[in-house]
Amino acid sequence: MPRLSQILDALEAFHGAQAPGWPTDPELFLVWWQCGYPPSEERCSKGWEALDREVGAAPDNVLSATPSRLARALRAGGIVPELRAARLKGIARKIRDEYGGTLRAALGKFSLAESRATLKRFPGIGDPGADRILLFAGIAPVAAVPSSCPHVLLRIASGREPARYTAAYREAQQILQAGVPDTPEARSRAYLLLQTHGRQVCKRTKPKCGSCPVADACAFFAAKGRSRG
């Protein structure tokens, strides 16, 4: 595998520079993540826009709104809006009562392990979500991997993917840690480019290898060629 920096440069030349489509503030991300269900960036963004327009997306706005008003706004993002409204109330209350209304300040005082554990106590947040929050909030330059796309790096590097998701995520994370500078800017760029590439070209099923800008450096593509031969 060529240097990861070369891979990322090729991806950026192909896809263009990328920017996050979600709020990078930790408190607002936790609200945004409950705005769609089943969770996806498209559904969360639709629910977020409706919530921000009709109620206000800040935790204080969530706390002051009635559950029925929250649920009405959240319907734009998908199913079970009443459940998500209740979760939003709990998230906002936890941020106010346990972290003084500012989760970012609290996370900045914790170790990386403590920050991850803190974020995972919120509904719907696992290791990939916690890593994404810490990276894009600028709290820690974590080697975060897009939760839906750990296969991208693994295909390029080795052509194989572990059967278990946790193993795939950790292996992709190790590749990023070794190949991308330990800065928020470099690792955010890597995250966004791998996410875009995984969604548009290196799809989980039916990848578009024929149009991939890094196919010549990809072990997965090479293996496909050998199998055809």
CATH number of the domain where residue 148 is located: 1.10.1670.10
Of 43, 52, 51, whose CA–CA distance to 21 is shortest?
Answer: 43
Domain shared by 35 and 131, yes or no? yes
What's the whole-number mean pLDDT along residues 106-134? 95
Domain shared by 8 and 39, yes or no? no
Domain shared by 106 and 8, yes or no? no
> Model-level pTM?
0.93
Domains of the chain: total: 2
**Residue 49, domain CATH:** 1.10.340.30
Encode pLDDT of 40-67 as tens digits: 999 999 999 999 999 999 999 999 999 9
Range of the domain at 152: 4-18+144-228
CA atoms within 13 A on the CB side of 195: 19
Encode pLDDT of 169-212 as tens digits: 999 999 999 999 999 999 999 999 999 999 999 999 999 999 99
Q: Of 95, 116, 136, which residue is a domain's last?
A: 136
Domain shared by 122 and 163, yes or no? no
Domain shared by 99 and 32, yes or no? yes
Of 198, 159, 190, 197, whose CA–CA distance to 173 is shortest?
Answer: 190
How many CB atoms sit inside 10 A of residue 95's CB? Answer: 23
Query: What number of residues does the chain have?
Result: 229
Q: Of 113, 136, 159, which residue is a domain's last?
A: 136
Domain shared by 209 and 165, yes or no? yes
Domain shared by 34 and 124, yes or no? yes
Domain shared by 42 and 101, yes or no? yes
Q: pLDDT-based confidence at 116, cuts 50/70/90?
A: very high
Structure tokens at 100: 């003084």
CA-CA distance, 2 to 216, in Å (whole number)?
10
Q: Of 116, 136, 156, which residue is a domain's last?
A: 136
Domain shared by 181 and 129, yes or no? no
Domain shared by 40 and 121, yes or no? yes
